[in-house]
A and B are shown apart, each in its own frame.
Chain A
């Protein structure tokens, strides 16, 4: 089954390119550490999911590129074409001239309705190329105007027109300090709208990825390209093919559906985070060896202590002793807070994958009480190594990972809203104070729900 990707705005397009590039490079990587037949099956599955075929054999990404100004799309198209290995469809992009001015209201209320037909037609054409559609991956940022505002509008449209297909939004959480001054407004408007129309929100935080680049990859002068490549690696480790079940050697056909089924049991809880291990520069890779036991131990501790990467993990955090009640509600200020999960998905790729021992992830103490661990925890596996890592593990988690960042954004947006600063820029295009209040209410509700998971 195929996935159609919609890339929105500068961020969405820049990242989209890196994602397709990572997917392609990995599927053609000679160090798959598996049999030739296995490799071919992997390649074929990846291809079916993400690429369609052209006459002269160059695969075309199943993607629609949307931006309100032309520079980034032109760059993205030419970068792909120059690589000579894959490219974007010639007519897969929609572009305007004037941008959205970092204004969510402009993206949502002006660009959205104005260009609805053109954009949805492009998406329809891409969908028609698929033998069978698994769903949509929408890559966007929250801080700007196009990705956030137009992204929310497009997602809503997808819900209306393709109600049977799944939609997963890849959302880029901006740096805490200053990419865009009105980023908090744009973020809360985006999140509240997506909560109503998307099936799952897979969230990537710029601050976290930046730290990975600095500490784990040892990059001195970190550029957005570096950040996007780490992000693409994380996404690739989730979406590349995996076996469809325990003991099977056929590749899973419905990744989005399986993911939603495993991780989003309740519509109130849609926020997913990704962690992966190991993550290091290519130079160090040649000198490192890994064991599944070691990787999984770190990954589990990253989960329960809410660490964003494998360095600096707080090993003091322990799951509460089962049977004893949690002492008091989750305080957002507590240092040693234990991260309660609703559901977790661990994806293992590489050598001896079947020998990996996952019992520690099935501990009921990790989860809320209303789901049995057998339902709350799932595993996907493949022997085929990912992107030159002999063994690698990814964790997609629906847990309290994102409560603190969400709370911070809502707090800052609220402070600014109380002073009414910048509101005139939004009311100019039809987003009223009421819309802001609705968004605040919805998100406070989400924060409260996640905070209470410990019970």
Chain B
């Protein structure tokens, strides 16, 4: 809803990739106000948005999925973005809606981000098929780790230049001034790996509709924690299989998650491993066997693994792994979100900016809060089963 960012893209190296007729911009922006984005710009631009969506959809032989990419803390991405979700659901009910959401970190500089995030969460709960939450702190930690490896200059451990997950020309020097480019690059890689099996051949394909089918056991619980490995490849030509196994171990370590979360110490509902490159089914199975004992799965899904093998690795790597986990470790993120919201809301701080928008009432806030609380409660209930032993339920008995 402001022109700066879109103009920059249109003047950048990828300007030909985007169809300039498929862009919608306004001038003043949403002022970090979810209500402005959702209610004001939503109704203003609904027709235009629908028209452009229909046009894009017409070009497709078979439309399977929408990717909505936005942040939760601002006004446009958060407000208009979630408005769009409802539009997509109404207009294209059979098409999956995948949302990549950047959640506000602890030291977020937008004061109203708790309000925006909370209001957006309700929409995500109700209208998204699958959400991949991401936070800037984790992304920043990842690129710091990469920088450390690059600059440590350990003897003999030169990093292949094109293999960095965040590689782009001259990225190193600019890192200090433009960390967001590198951080966003990681998210881009996430989406690349997510769609790799749909774009390339492999011995065990996995389409986007399979992600939702396998990883969302109950409609509400559709938040997936993602992790990406490897972040870089060493220049070693000889990659022993230990390196391959290391890749699997890394995928389950805290340092590789794209959101602050610790899946290993929480409860898994389901887990998907999307492997690219020269990896075969036996490697996959060996690693699952190896890692399984240290992971806690919910009692009714003890073998809750979904796997896929794509033959084509990402540029500069010989193999890569994207792990998507439906895990109760997202709960702390939501609890923290609720706490930050409550602190602001108790004082009614900045509330007038929202309430003065037509269509906004206090009930919007309280409803959003209960929606989130209900979600947290579901995760709590699942966590409570963590320590219970897995019981085999009595089966149907038939007369012989």
Contacts and interface: CB of A to CB of B under 8 A. Distances in A.
B303 A102 contact: no
A440 B306 contact: no
A172 to B, nearest CB: 12
Given A424-B219, A448-B398, A178 B303 contact: yes
Contact of B209 (A75, A101, A214): A101
Contact of B62 (A98, A411, A415): A98
B299 interface: yes
A71 B398 contact: no
Interface stretch (A216-224, A259-267, A289-297): A216-224
B393 A10 contact: no
A421 B396 contact: no
B210 interface: yes
A364 interface: no
A379 B269 CA distance: 50
Interface residues of B, number: 44
B159 interface: no
A222 B282 CA distance: 5
Contact of A178 (B212, B216, B306): B306
Contacts of B395: 410-411, 414, 444
A302 to B, nearest CB: 24
Contacts of A444: 395-398
Interface in B72-106: none
A415 B280 contact: no
Interface string A429-454: 00000000000110011001100100
A220 B307 CA distance: 20
A264 B302 CA distance: 35
A224 B281 contact: yes
Interface string B300-318: 1111111101000000000
Contact of A441 (B61, B393, B396): B396
A222 B305 contact: no
B307 A221 contact: no
Given A415-B299, A444-B395, A181 B207 contact: no
B63 to A, nearest CB: 8
B299 A227 contact: no
Contacts of A223: 203, 280-282
B58 interface: no
A69 interface: yes
Interface in B49-84: 61-62, 64
Nearest to A442: B398
B205 A178 contact: no
A415 B216 CA distance: 17
Contacts of A416: 300-301
Contacts of B219: 424
Contact of B205 (A71, A182, A422, A424): A71
A9 to B, nearest CB: 10
A14 interface: yes
Given A98-B62, A210-B282, A444-B398, A225 B306 contact: no
Interface string A82-98: 00000000000000111
Interface in A62-110: 69, 71-72, 75, 96-103
B301 A181 contact: yes
Given A98-B64, A441-B398, A424 B210 contact: no
Contacts of B62: 96-98
A210 B218 CA distance: 33
Contact of A421 (B212, B282, B300, B398): B300
Contacts of B397: 444
Nearest to A206: B281
A177 B300 contact: no
B393 A178 contact: no
B197 to A, nearest CB: 9
A129 B75 CA distance: 65
A214 B282 contact: yes
Contacts of B289: 177
B328 to A, nearest CB: 14
B201 interface: yes
A320 B288 CA distance: 40
A257 interface: no
A348 B219 CA distance: 54
A451 to B, nearest CB: 8
Interface in B163-215: 201, 203-205, 207, 209-210, 212-215
A418 B301 contact: no
A177 B306 CA distance: 9
Task: Specify which of B210, B215, B306 lies most central, judged by the most chain A CB atoms within 10 Å of its CB.
Answer: B210
B209 A181 contact: no
Interface string A220-235: 1111110100000000
B157 to A, nearest CB: 26
Contacts of A449: 400
A117 interface: no
A370 to B, nearest CB: 15
B200 to A, nearest CB: 8
A176 interface: yes
A10 B203 CA distance: 8
Nearest to B215: A181
Given A103-B209, A414-B396, A444-B398, 10 more contacts: A69-B207, A72-B205, A145-B213, A181-B215, A181-B305, A214-B282, A412-B302, A415-B299, A441-B398, A445-B398
19 contacts: A10-B204, A69-B205, A97-B62, A97-B64, A98-B209, A99-B209, A101-B209, A102-B210, A179-B307, A180-B214, A181-B306, A182-B214, A221-B282, A222-B281, A412-B303, A415-B300, A421-B301, A440-B396, A449-B400
